[in-house]
């Protein structure tokens, strides 16, 4: 049976991530591992004695068991619970590898050290999980979501790793019975050779998806502003369509650029999107910070 890992900390955002993972598990006939990570070096832990910490962990374990049992009964999905101690992002990545998780589904505003940190970017732990995981990470940033997936948005640029996210779009569209909307976004600032490359790529990807038997529409989005505004334009586009329930992005434009965090465009998608975002790391980049 496939497995989906859901990091959980009782925050409402992780409840929404849990709900989305349930929908995915039903469609993929997967089990779910619900993971709570206790950071022993965290500020709150330092306020309590060892005995108090152990008592707190026992209570958390009981609450996790209750949450999992209730959701399993309601959904029919097999749900197991893990409670681990350590660095949040390292434990999440390690448990995902240990359980053979096909997806990690997590809230974007949880697991962070401060609201300022998570507002400034996707959050240090979220970014590190996305970059180091060997499987796609679906981040949940909005407050309400559709039960399932009607349309997948596949933004394209002129970089080389697009093929990996196209394969995932085809796979997930097949799982959900969804269609794919391919959008090539370009700004007036870009050179014409880059713009032409994007146009050709849109046509090529559209044909590839259609040939896989998946419903697909394609268009080119002209952004009358700087390249940095493309993400905002794509998110506005997605919201205006009303039926887009998942956005698939690559986390790095070039695999060697970023050492610890995903690139700025991916950060903006994850931070600003109310629609779930699935981040796919170029294969040669995944796992570089495991064991830090």
Nearest C-alpha neighbor of 140 from the set 3, 277, 291, 28 = 277
pLDDT at 112 over 50: no
The percent of residues above 70 in pLDDT, for the chain, comes to: 79
Query: Selecting from 3.60.130.10, 3.10.20.30, 3.40.640.10, 3.40.50.620, what CATH number does the domain 151-276 have?
Result: 3.40.50.620
> If 0-12 CB within 10 Å is exposed, 13-18 middle and 19+ buried, where does residue 96 land?
buried
The pLDDT value recorded for residue 11 is 86
Q: Rounded to an integer, what distance in angstroms lies between the CA atom of residue 225 and that of residue 229?
A: 6
pLDDT at 121: 37
Of 170-179, 259-268, 273-282, where does the model show the most confidence? 170-179
- Mean pLDDT lowest among 102-106, 126-130, 169-173: 126-130
pLDDT reported for residue 292: 41
Pairing of strands 277-280, 137-140: antiparallel
Number of helices (H) and strands (E) in the chain: give both, helices first: 10, 10
State pLDDT tens for residues 23-72.
999 999 999 999 999 876 655 556 666 677 778 888 999 999 999 999 99
* CA-based nearest residue to 138, from 32, 227, 218, 234: 32
- Angstrom CA distances, 39 to 159, 182, 251, 290, stand at 38, 41, 26, 17
- The pLDDT, as a whole number, for residue 254 is 41
Average pLDDT over residues 173-183: 95
pLDDT digits (tens, 9 = 90+) for 243-257: 999 999 887 644 443
Q: Which CATH class is domain 3-140?
A: alpha beta
Place of tokens 């050492």: 259
Q: What angle do CA 277, 285, 97 make, to 5 degrees?
A: 75
Which of 84-93, 186-195, 227-236, 281-290 is predicted most confidently?
Answer: 84-93
Q: pLDDT tens for residues 181-232?
A: 999 888 777 788 888 888 888 999 999 999 999 999 999 988 876 655 788 8
Q: Which one, of 142, 47, 56, 127, lies nearest residue 92 by Cα? A: 127
DSSP 137: E
How high does pLDDT run on average in the chain? 82
Query: Are the C-beta atoms of 8 and 64 separated by less than 8 Å?
Result: yes
**pLDDT at res. 264:** 66
Give the pTM: 0.84
Asked whether residue 284 carries a pLDDT value surpassing 80, the answer given is: no
Backbone angles phi, psi at 107, to 5 degrees: -75, 145
Res 110: pLDDT: 47
Q: Where in the chain is the domain with CATH 3.40.50.620?
A: 3-140, 151-276
- From the list 277, 274, 26, 5, the residue with the least C-alpha distance to 147 is 26
- Tally Cβ neighbours within 10 Å of residue 222: 12
Q: Are 198 and 237 in contact (CB under 8 A)?
A: no
Check whether 167 has a pLDDT greater than 60.
yes
pLDDT higher for 265 or 269?
Answer: 269
């Amino acid at each position: 049976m496939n497995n989906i890992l859901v990091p959980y900390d009782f925050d409402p955002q992780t409840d929404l991530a849990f709900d989305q993972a349930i929908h995915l598990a039903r469609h993929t006939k997967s089990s779910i591992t619900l993971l709570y990570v206790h950071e022993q070096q965290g500020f709150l832990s330092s306020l309590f004695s060892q005995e108090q910490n152990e008592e707190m962990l026992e209570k958390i374990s009981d609450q996790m068991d209750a949450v999992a049992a209730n959701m399993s009964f309601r959904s029919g999905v097999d749900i197991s619970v893990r409670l681990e101690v350590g660095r949040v992002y390292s434990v999440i990545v390690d448990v995902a590898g240990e359980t053979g998780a096909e997806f990690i589904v997590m809230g974007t505003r949880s697991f962070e050290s401060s609201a300022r940190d998570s507002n400034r970017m996707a959050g240090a732990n979220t970014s590190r999980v996305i970059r180091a995981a060997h499987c796609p990470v679906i981040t949940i940033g909005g407050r309400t979501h559709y039960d399932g997936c009607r349309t997948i948005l596949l933004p394209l640029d002129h970089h080389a790793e697009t093929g990996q996210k196209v394969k995932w779009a085809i796979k997930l569209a097949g799982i959900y019975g969804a269609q794919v909307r391919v959008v090539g976004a370009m700004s007036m600032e870009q050179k014409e050779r880059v713009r032409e490359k994007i146009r050709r790529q849109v046509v090529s990807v559209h044909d590839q998806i259609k040939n896989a038997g998946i419903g697909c529409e394609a268009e080119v989005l002209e952004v009358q502003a700087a390249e940095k505004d493309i993400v905002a334009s794509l998110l506005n586009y997605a919201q205006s369509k009303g039926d887009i329930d998942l956005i698939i992005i690559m986390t790095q434009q070039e695999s060697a650029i970023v050492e610890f965090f995903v690139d700025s465009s991916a950060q903006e998608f994850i931070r600003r999107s109310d629609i779930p975002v699935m981040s796919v790391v170029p294969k040669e980049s995944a796992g570089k910070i495991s064991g830090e």
